[in-house]
Structure 1
Amino acid sequence: MTDQLQATATPAAAPPAAPSGLPTVALTSLLFGSLLPMLSFFMINVSLPAIGADLRADAGELQLVVGAYGIAVATLLVVGGRLGDAFGRRRLLLLGLAGFTVASVVCAIAPSVPVLLLARVAQGAAAAAVTPQVLASITSLMTGEHRARGMAMFGVANGISAALGQILGGVLVDANPFGLGWRSIFVVLALGSLLALVAVAFSVPDSKAVQAHRVDFVGAALLAATLVLLLLPLTEGRALGWPLWTWISLAAVVPAIGLLAVHQRRAERSGHAPLIPPSVLQHRAMRIGLLMAVGFFTSFGGFMFTFALATQAGAQMTAFEGGLSLLPLAIGFLITCIWGPALQRRYGVAMVVWGWIIEAAGFVLLAVAALALWPDVTILRLAAPMLVIGFGGGLVMVPLIGLVISQVPPAQAGLGSGILLTSQQTCLAFGAATVGTVFLALAGTTWNFGGALAATTLALAAIALAMAPLTNQLRH
């Protein structure tokens, strides 16, 4: 009898639960939904000349078409994640996809640049509700090797969508279906979002956080103000001749950052959940990872923007040819996605270090091609440099978030992922603003488009080489 009581009071430890996954259709629906925000960012690049001609937009306004979307996503990404934790991730994902569909339709019928910009902001806000729910759903609904595979597939989807976005955009603009021109891009995005909404509604189960945190709306507002103060003068200043307000706006960035930092510290000390928790940034791996993200995504966003303008406005390629010239880059990414996980397991951080070096070599090769051949560049003549850039960039981008988060305490891994994803979206927009401004300034001089492309790609090569020794510090 005593033995029976003891057995009842202290039951034997249950065996560990077997790794669990999601049905294929559910995971596919989530990944398809995650493609849309990145496709929206990059598909628009190749259509910028067509938008400029149709809506009579200048270069600064075209940069804002890219930047407005990026600012909205970056500002609201963590907010979207917190709302999903509190009210249900599936619910927020469905709301985000519905909003993305409506905003894409408004973009497609926009009669002017201001309407297009407002619709792009709305589209970015909806995208910020989508991406965090995909990541959180994979993390909460999958375990073990299934979760690892799901996260790897999420990284692959993001990497491939960047290059394929511009290729698909070029195909649509050049094909001009139903006479829609660049507007067909947003029609496709709306249809894709609607399809994802239906698929998620019927296949993805809901989940919530065990303990939901308050949403830091003040922090989000301060971050948005800081990004606007920084990116608006950078995109509009050159076209307007750098009036006084642009310099005042840039000078205000420093106190805005200080105010944001003070608010984040106070929020964390009071037990609230700030947008960018200072305690997470105290980890050395997180600081290094953040610098890596800034270097990579600023370069990548700037390069994709300038390459689209250089090939179409400079080399007189069609939108289809300009997009197709990125196919070797996409192939390089695809090769990395296939072999990258095995290479990472074998070489670890060294794989990313070599990725920076290979990417830098690709940028140098592209600069040489631009100087030697411009304007007689063709898809085939650009193929080798683009393949090298794609392969090297993939070695950096695909494992970046996972590599950094693996060195952060598990309790703060989610917050760290949010910070890195926020920096990704911020820097894609920042790259289009800064690198794009330098490129356009040089292209308007005797450097012309070929010289401007060579100069900017050499600068990007220097950034990549500077990142290599920084990345190597993750070993220690």
Structure 2
Amino acid sequence: MDADAWGLGWRAIFLINVPVGIVIFALSKRFVPQTRSDRPMRTDFAGVALLTAALLCLMIPLIEGRSLGWPAWLWLLVGVGVLLLAVFVAHSRRRQRTDGSALLPLQLFRNRGFSAGLITQAMFQGAMNAFTLPFILYLQLALGFDALTAGLNLLAFSVGAMLGTGVAVPLTGRLGKALIAVGCVLMAIGIWWTSTVLGATGVGFTGWDAVGGMLTAGLGLSLIIIPLIDVALATIPVADAGAASGTYSTFQQLGATAGIAVSTTIFFAQVGGDWSQASVLDALGASVTVALIGLGIAAVASLFLPGVRAVRAHLEEERLRAEVEI
């Protein structure tokens, strides 16, 4: 949007989280059952501090590196982040041996299905963001669309995702990881299709031209994101479910950030100082390549997720637990 609410500029978009958060809080108080552990663990404050500091040191260069010209202090920050990660690993191992209350039980990474789920999630999130942001930049910078019109060109993507939800939910227990692999392929086809349409239509592009590609990409999105967490956590013990879910969400954010950082760095490097439609289209093509590579890696990683039998057992266990809690 072009509105400048309270002088916040583009940052005003985050205000949408306020009413959404209030609604979610109210609904959770009403519908989410209260559960308590019989043996609650101590909070790992040192682990929280170490991991937060490490991720900040690694994320800041990814986000700000291109715009700042990659000064030496950013590379130093990366080194500090790696060092802090090593300290965090050592701390987690020691704490797990002592009382089993580490923020992140490192034995989770020995679970092949869980590790494959983290890679699938990070690559998928990175690929999605590697395409959508440069796509919007192309529409605005090369074709002259305003912010609202450019954003509306993602509407078909959202509609496809909504339609895909109705398909993905009942198929999760039947197809398991195969559904995720199909989703990666469909999303890649949709992104490639949209990119091809953009190249063919040039300055005459309208949102209707890309509806087919965007619907396909959105459908693929749902076939990945809906079943992925259930499939990835299918073989994780209940006692570690909280830590596993938190790790899963962290990799989601890291993947999205890395996808944006890599694709925009390539995008602006490709553009250089030439903001003509053809130059920006070539830059978008480079970002699309990044997205397709990410989806390819996600598709391969999804093949190492837990099998459909484990997924069905996991879903049945969740159903029975929910009935008991209610």
Q: Give the TM bin, normalised by the shorter chain.
A: 0.7 to 0.9
Query: Is 1:287 matched up with 2:115?
Result: yes
Query: Measured at CA, do residues 205 and 471 of structure 1 come closer, stay the same or move farther in structure 2, by a change above 3 Å?
Result: closer
Quick one: percent identity of the two aligned structures? 29
| Residues 208-251 of structure 1, C-alpha deviations (whole Å, 9 max, x = no match) | 33332222222222222222222222332222222221222233
How far is the alpha carbon of 1:289 from its aligned partner?
0.9
How far is the alpha carbon of 1:454 from its aligned partner?
1.5
How far is the alpha carbon of 1:376 from its aligned partner?
3.1
Q: Give me the whole-angstrom Cα distance separating, in 1, the residues matched to 2:175 and 2:297.
A: 20
Q: Give me the whole-angstrom Cα distance separating, in 1, the residues matched to 2:304 and 2:90.
A: 29
Query: Is 1:302 matched up with 2:130?
Result: yes
SS in 1 for 2:99: coil
Query: Measured at CA, do residues 187 and 290 of structure 1 come closer, stay the same or move farther in structure 2, by a change above 3 Å?
Result: closer
Query: Measured at CA, do residues 236 and 349 of structure 1 come closer, stay the same or move farther in structure 2, by a change above 3 Å?
Result: closer
Q: Give me the whole-angstrom Cα distance separating, in 2, the residues matched to 1:347 and 1:200.
A: 30
Query: Measured at CA, do residues 374 and 262 of structure 1 come closer, stay the same or move farther in structure 2, by a change above 3 Å?
Result: farther
User: Equivalent residue for 1:325?
Assistant: 153
With normalisation by structure 2, the TM-score equals: 0.82
Query: Is 1:433 matched up with 2:264?
Result: no
Which region of structure 1 is more displaced relative to structure 2, 249-258 or 355-364? 249-258
User: Equivalent residue for 1:448?
Assistant: 279
Q: Is the CA contact (8 Å cut-off) linking 1:234 and 1:437 kept in structure 2? A: no
Query: Measured at CA, do residues 434 and 256 of structure 1 come closer, stay the same or move farther in structure 2, by a change above 3 Å?
Result: farther
Q: Is the CA contact (8 Å cut-off) linking 2:232 and 2:306 kept in structure 1? A: no
SS in 2 for 1:474: coil
Q: Give me the whole-angstrom Cα distance separating, in 1, the residues matched to 2:135 and 2:126.
A: 14
The equivalent position to 1:334 in structure 2, one of 142, 158, 162, is 162
Q: Is the CA contact (8 Å cut-off) linking 2:44 and 2:101 kept in structure 1? A: yes
| Residues 228-278 of structure 1, C-alpha deviations (whole Å, 9 max, x = no match) | 222222332222222221222233333232222212211211114222210
Query: Is 1:223 matched up with 2:51?
Result: yes
Query: Measured at CA, do residues 308 and 255 of structure 1 come closer, stay the same or move farther in structure 2, by a change above 3 Å?
Result: same
Q: Give me the whole-angstrom Cα distance separating, in 2, the residues matched to 1:190 and 1:475.
A: 37
User: Equivalent residue for 1:157?
Assistant: none
The equivalent position to 1:423 in structure 2, one of 251, 254, 267, is 251
How far is the alpha carbon of 1:194 from its aligned partner?
4.1
Q: Is the CA contact (8 Å cut-off) linking 1:375 and 1:450 kept in structure 2? A: no
Query: Is 1:401 matched up with 2:229?
Result: yes
Query: Measured at CA, do residues 401 and 374 of structure 1 come closer, stay the same or move farther in structure 2, by a change above 3 Å?
Result: same
- Between the two proteins, the alignment pairs up a number of residues equal to 304
Query: Measured at CA, do residues 205 and 231 of structure 1 come closer, stay the same or move farther in structure 2, by a change above 3 Å?
Result: closer
Q: Is the CA contact (8 Å cut-off) linking 1:370 and 1:451 kept in structure 2? A: no
> Greater RCO between the two (CA within 8 Å, min separation 6)?
2
Query: Measured at CA, do residues 405 and 194 of structure 1 come closer, stay the same or move farther in structure 2, by a change above 3 Å?
Result: closer
Q: Is the CA contact (8 Å cut-off) linking 2:127 and 2:292 kept in structure 1? A: no
Which region of structure 1 is more displaced relative to structure 2, 417-426 or 391-400? 417-426
Aligned residue type for 1:418: G
Query: Measured at CA, do residues 355 and 187 of structure 1 come closer, stay the same or move farther in structure 2, by a change above 3 Å?
Result: closer
What are the residue-to-residue correspondences of 1:59-458 with 2, within 5 Å?
A: 109=6, 182=10, 185-197=13-25, 206-446=34-274, 448-458=279-289
Q: Is the CA contact (8 Å cut-off) linking 2:57 and 2:77 kept in structure 1? A: yes
SS in 1 for 2:61: helix
How far is the alpha carbon of 1:398 from its aligned partner?
0.8
Query: Measured at CA, do residues 267 and 377 of structure 1 come closer, stay the same or move farther in structure 2, by a change above 3 Å?
Result: farther
Query: Measured at CA, do residues 211 and 456 of structure 1 come closer, stay the same or move farther in structure 2, by a change above 3 Å?
Result: same
Unaligned runs of 5+ in 2: 308-326
How far is the alpha carbon of 1:440 from its aligned partner?
2.7
The equivalent position to 1:469 in structure 2, one of 300, 306, 324, is 300
Q: Is the CA contact (8 Å cut-off) linking 1:292 and 1:467 kept in structure 2? A: yes
Q: Give me the whole-angstrom Cα distance separating, in 2, the residues matched to 1:468 and 1:305.
A: 22
Aligned residue type for 1:305: L
Q: Give me the whole-angstrom Cα distance separating, in 1, the residues matched to 2:90 and 2:229.
A: 26
Q: Is the CA contact (8 Å cut-off) linking 1:280 and 1:416 kept in structure 2? A: yes
SS in 2 for 1:316: coil
Q: Is the CA contact (8 Å cut-off) linking 1:363 and 1:389 kept in structure 2? A: yes
Q: Is the CA contact (8 Å cut-off) linking 2:176 and 2:227 kept in structure 1? A: no
Which region of structure 1 is more displaced relative to structure 2, 211-220 or 383-392? 211-220
SS in 2 for 1:346: helix
Q: Is the CA contact (8 Å cut-off) linking 2:266 and 2:286 kept in structure 1? A: no
Q: Give me the whole-angstrom Cα distance separating, in 2, the residues matched to 1:183 and 1:465.
A: 33
Query: Measured at CA, do residues 244 and 462 of structure 1 come closer, stay the same or move farther in structure 2, by a change above 3 Å?
Result: same
Q: Is the CA contact (8 Å cut-off) linking 1:344 and 1:351 kept in structure 2? A: yes
With normalisation by structure 1, the TM-score equals: 0.58
Query: Measured at CA, do residues 444 and 335 of structure 1 come closer, stay the same or move farther in structure 2, by a change above 3 Å?
Result: same
Q: Is the CA contact (8 Å cut-off) linking 1:370 and 1:453 kept in structure 2? A: no
Aligned residue type for 1:462: I
